[in-house]
Amino acid sequence: MPMTEQSNTPVHVSIIMDGNGRWAKARGKERIYGHFEGVNSVRACTEAAVEAGVRYLSLFAFSEENWNRPAAEVETLMGLMMRSIEREVDSLMKNGVRFVVLGNLARLSEGLRAAIAGLMEKTAACDRLTLVVFLSYSGKWDILQASRRLAEDVAAGKVRPEDVDQDAFSQYLVTADIPDPDLLIRTSGEQRISNFLLWQCAYTEFYYTDVLWPDFRKPEFRAALDAYAHRARRFGKV
Ligand code: IPE
Ligand code: IPE
Ligand code: MG
């Protein structure tokens, strides 16, 4: 886990991409059009992150709770994910972007899981930016799956309870290989965490904007980096 560099550029920027439905509704269209347009924002922010020297960009794409949306919307979102993966391979590789998906992947279709595994393998050696997509993810789910696996290791005698500290516990979260976010952006005016990275955001800087996700492009991304550069992070110290 790389430490935060001595610069004002965040190492890890995370985004709760929100407001697709409202964006579409404002144009008298179905919610799915907002999701389609949102893919262009993903591309723009990925490019902006590479340009700014950000090392990790993570995106909350679908929460465990989002499975409770109407089946048609869930199906469209999963189909969109599949097509985006197929379409973006070349541009990700050209830009040196390593692609990683984290979440409760057992709930995804076999086809989507295979496409994800394929893209992760193809981009495994890319090292300019790691693009993490959180899919079927929730913070409480992550902490629970970590606790369960840790309990199994304790029961099997592989780990002693007294050796479980914060670093040891972190290794059981799905984000084990990824530094905690320095900056968390949420679009669309909502100011809540919605069960995203609960453990990992302990000292993350939050940035809220009223801009809806389909309108969040390079200038908006850079504005968030700018705001971050002026924050004073104290981590509990004076
Ligand atoms: C974010 O946009 C995308 C997902 C959560 C999958 P929404 O679909 O939540 O859009 P709003 O918040 O209803 O406008
Ligand atoms: C959070 O957005 C989840 C994602 C962006 C994937 P939601 O739109 O689902 O969150 P709530 O329901 O407004 O809290
Ligand atoms: Mg929403």
The predicted structure's pLDDT at residue 137: 98
Nearest to 100 by CA among 144, 132, 60, 71: 132
In the reported structure, the alpha carbon of residue 101 is separated from the centroid of ligand 1 by a whole-number distance in angstroms of: 19
Atom number in ligand 2 closest to CA 190: 13
Q: To test ligand 2's pocket by mutation, which of 81, 134, 194 has the most ligand atoms within 8 angstroms of CB?
A: 194
CB atoms within 10 A of CB 31: 18
Strand partners, 97: 129
* C-alpha–C-alpha distance, residues 70 and 68, integer Å: 7
Q: How far is CA 190 from CA 120, 157, 168, 185, 206, in A?
A: 31, 45, 33, 11, 12
Residue closest by Cα to atom 10 of ligand 2: 194
The predicted structure's pLDDT at residue 7: 67
Please give all residues whose beta carbon lies within 6 A of any atom in ligand 1, as ranges: 17-22, 62, 66, 77, 188, 213
Active-site amino acid positions: 18, 66
Residue closest by Cα to atom 2 of ligand 2: 18
In the reported structure, the alpha carbon of residue 142 is separated from the centroid of ligand 1 by a whole-number distance in angstroms of: 21
* C-alpha–C-alpha distance, residues 182 and 82, integer Å: 29
| C-alpha atoms less than 13 angstroms from C-alpha of 91 in its C-beta half-sphere | 13
Q: To test ligand 1's pocket by mutation, which of 20, 40, 63, 136 has the most ligand atoms within 8 angstroms of CB?
A: 20
**Is residue 63 within a helix (H) or strand (E), and if so which, with residue range?**
strand 56-63
Regions of the chain with pLDDT less than 50: 1-6
Atom number in ligand 1 closest to CA 62: 6
The predicted structure's pLDDT at residue 204: 98
Whole-model pTM?
A: 0.96
